[in-house]
A and B are shown apart, each in its own frame.
Chain A
Amino acid sequence: MLTLAGLSHHTAPVDVRERFAAEVQAGRHSLAELLALDHVREAVLLSTCNRTELYVVTDGAVDDESLIAMLPKPPGVDGQSLPRFVYIRRGRDVVKHLFRVVSSLDSMILGEPQIQGQVRSAYESAIKLQREQRLVGPVLSRLFESALRVGSRVRSETRLGDGAASIPSAAVELAKKIFGALNGRHAVIVGSGEMSEIAFDCMRQENARISVVSRSEESARRLAARGTAAVHTLPHLPELLANADIVIAATSAPHNVITVEMVRRVLPKGPKQPLLIVDIALPRDVETEVGETPNVFLYNLDDLHQVIEGTMERRRAEVPFAEGIIDSGVEEFQAWHNALEVVPLIRALRQRSEQIRATEVERALRSLRHLSDSDRAAVDILTKQLLAKLLHQPTVRLREAVAAGDGAGIVNAARYLFELESQLENDAG
């Protein structure tokens, strides 16, 4: 049976989630131990900063307690309180859950792109270990490959991943709406704290030419060491403003660092080319009136949140389309999975029929000793063909019924009518 036990940002606080993530990252949780359990056939552990989920295929149903016991046991997390953070899914719900996870419908930020790579990497890690430990069998392999396919379809057929969904990406989106590509643009980062670091990394990714301005040269140098950048102190800010394309202000100063008087002094008629100033500091670094300067575009945190909210609204409108793709993927997987369940039955039916045929042919030939070798071979072939024709239609119908999801009754009837219960148990043993 396909089962999932996990915890995520929906059910567990960040301190619990990070302990689980660290435990998995440290490699202290061994799936091989799980596979040593009699009833566990396949296992994949998915771990990101926001979720830890264990996907297992077991023989028969496993109770919640045993499933929770299979999860990693990070130090500092009380085993007694763990059940309230954990959710359990079984059968079809597991498929739907994983498809929603890969499509980022279950993510903290709807439509975020990283989850697909994280699922792929968890699956590939399990595949790497597969040769030694047989972690991934046919069911989980099919499940994860289907999930990644569904995730790709959701990404390409809907606009769930469109737009900026974080402060840095919103700033970059605004910059791109002014300058197109940011390659070679002069970006001035004012401040050297955590937000400045994020801004620096964003501008570096876009291949902008970066200047760092800070109160002390030392802190500016520390930030500039994250890449290639010119280093300046605050007194040089006015002259940098005069030839900047983008200014990102993120100091912790309690007063305005860029004032309208400063801008008017260095750019009395406004800049020749558009100048984008993004103020991500609290309290704000840039005087509001600076935005009234011709050709200057000034945005603060509220404006960036407005961009993000617009994105999220559009992403939420895409959810029904994504759910449609997911549902069709779930149906497809279920059809395959159901068909997988009928394989042992068909094999047992054919084996039993062949045993009967072989016994009866042998008995008949014993009383037909006058037949030549070629006649005996002809009788053997005739009965084989007869059997194949007789079993063809029931086999096809069984597969169809199971694939359609309404085959349980028919499968049970076939077991009963052909007395296959004991044979199936022997095969499973």
Chain B
Amino acid sequence: MSMIGILHALALATYVLAGALIASSLAAGSREVSRPALLAIVAAVLAHGAALAAYTAGYGELPLVGLAASISTLAFLIGVGLLISALLRQARPLAVVLIPLIGMLVLAALVLGVRPSGDEFEFRGAWFSLHVVTAFVAYAGLAIAFSAGLLYLLQFRALKEKNFGRAFRFLPPLETLDAVGQRALVLGLGALSFALLLGWAWTVRFRASLTLRNPEVIWGVVTWLVFVSALVARRGGAGGDRRGASAAVAGFMVVVLAYVVLRVMTASGGLFL
């Protein structure tokens, strides 16, 4: 196994350890993510960052092209997002959803083999990197909004049904989950809009036309609509927070489903991540 693979395996093992520690905090009826679990998350993200740095140094390019490399980078950005949200102490239990998600993505990257795809793209260079990184930041934001939304719905249900068990104690306040979810959506929408504009500008500049049949464009537009819908759902009458949470959860699922459908449809030929 190469150094990149070893570092990915190390990151995966540390994510698994962090997941186990979080699960034990939850099972023990703790009020929050324990310090060892938090340290394990930091260690895992650092190991993951080292793996991607090794990739960049080894292949002389950022890990933005090719399915495994892209998945790994996306997982890393979700991990970074988790650490940023963990600065808010009450938001740390988001890890209970995000760590398994990151773990699955890293495992998928490992199974696929983290190496450059070898495909030639016309759209490369600094603008390409910026386009992909901002798009990945948007998807990481959606993952965090999904996590916050899911926990919001669980905590809302526990409060409404007066089920004051372990999950109730462990999960953050509704207000915190709502604030994290909303910020993740706003940041994600901004990042995705910028990424889409960059892609559109490049296409118009060099290809003179923009085809809506391109699966990446379709996926990008679907995701953008999901962001907008989730933010719009929050507005209006009573229960906007809950509608926003539901929309973030449903929207994330729509984006994942859209990816799978587009991936299957383009399996025979077209290039799609």
Identify the A interface with B (CB < 8 A). Answer: 159, 162-163, 174, 176-180, 267, 269-274, 294-295, 297, 299, 303, 306-307, 310, 314
Contact = CB atoms under 8 A, between A and B. Distances in A.
A232 B144 CA distance: 43
Interface residues of B, number: 23
Contacts of A178: 159, 173-175
A174 B160 CA distance: 11
A289 to B, nearest CB: 14
A174 B174 CA distance: 11
Contacts of A180: 90, 172-173, 175-176
Contact of B164 (A159, A267, A307): A307
Contacts of B242: 295
Contacts of B165: 310
B270 interface: no
A83 B130 CA distance: 83
Q: Which of B165, B176, B238, B241 has the most CB of A within 10 A?
A: B238
Nearest to A291: B160
Nearest to A297: B159
B238 A179 contact: no
A274 B174 contact: yes
Contacts of B193: none
Contacts of B174: 177-179, 274
B238 A177 contact: no
Contacts, number: 54
Given A159-B30, A162-B31, A297-B159, A176 B173 contact: yes
26 contacts: A159-B29, A163-B31, A163-B169, A174-B159, A176-B173, A177-B155, A177-B159, A177-B173, A178-B174, A180-B172, A180-B173, A180-B175, A180-B176, A267-B238, A269-B237, A271-B238, A273-B241, A274-B174, A294-B238, A297-B159, A297-B160, A306-B162, A306-B164, A307-B164, A310-B164, A310-B165
B241 A303 contact: no
Contacts of A162: 31
B230 to A, nearest CB: 17
Contacts of A297: 159-160
A303 B162 contact: yes
B159 A272 contact: no
Interface in B71-113: 90
B24 to A, nearest CB: 13
A266 to B, nearest CB: 12
Contacts of A176: 173
Interface string B192-203: 000000000000
Contacts of A159: 29-30
B30 A270 contact: no
A270 B238 contact: yes
B66 interface: no
B173 A272 contact: no
A162 B168 CA distance: 14
Interface in B208-246: 237-242
Interface string B167-181: 011001111100000
A299 B162 contact: yes
A269 B164 contact: no
Nearest to A313: B29
A342 B144 CA distance: 65
A295 B30 CA distance: 27
Contacts of A269: 237-239
A297 B174 CA distance: 12
Given A267-B238, A269-B239, 11 more contacts: A159-B30, A162-B31, A163-B31, A177-B159, A177-B174, A180-B173, A272-B238, A274-B241, A294-B239, A299-B162, A306-B162
A307 B159 CA distance: 11
A187 B143 CA distance: 35
Nearest to B90: A180
A417 to B, nearest CB: 55
Contacts of B164: 306-307, 310
A314 to B, nearest CB: 5
A181 B238 CA distance: 22
A174 B155 CA distance: 11
A272 B237 contact: yes
A363 B216 CA distance: 109
A163 B155 CA distance: 17
Contact of A295 (B169, B172, B239): B239
B41 to A, nearest CB: 22
Contacts of B90: 180
A299 B161 CA distance: 10
Interface in B118-169: 155, 159-160, 162, 164-165, 168-169
A159 B25 CA distance: 12
B164 to A, nearest CB: 5
Q: Which of B168, B169, B172 has the most CB of A within 10 A?
A: B169
A182 B113 CA distance: 50
B237 to A, nearest CB: 5
A306 B163 CA distance: 9
Nearest to A275: B238
A70 B175 CA distance: 57
A267 B164 CA distance: 27
A314 B239 CA distance: 33
A391 B108 CA distance: 73
A179 B240 contact: no
A306 B164 CA distance: 8
A402 B29 CA distance: 43
A174 B31 CA distance: 13
Nearest to B179: A180
A179 B237 contact: no
B156 to A, nearest CB: 8
Contacts of B237: 269, 272
Contacts of A270: 238-239
Nearest to A273: B241
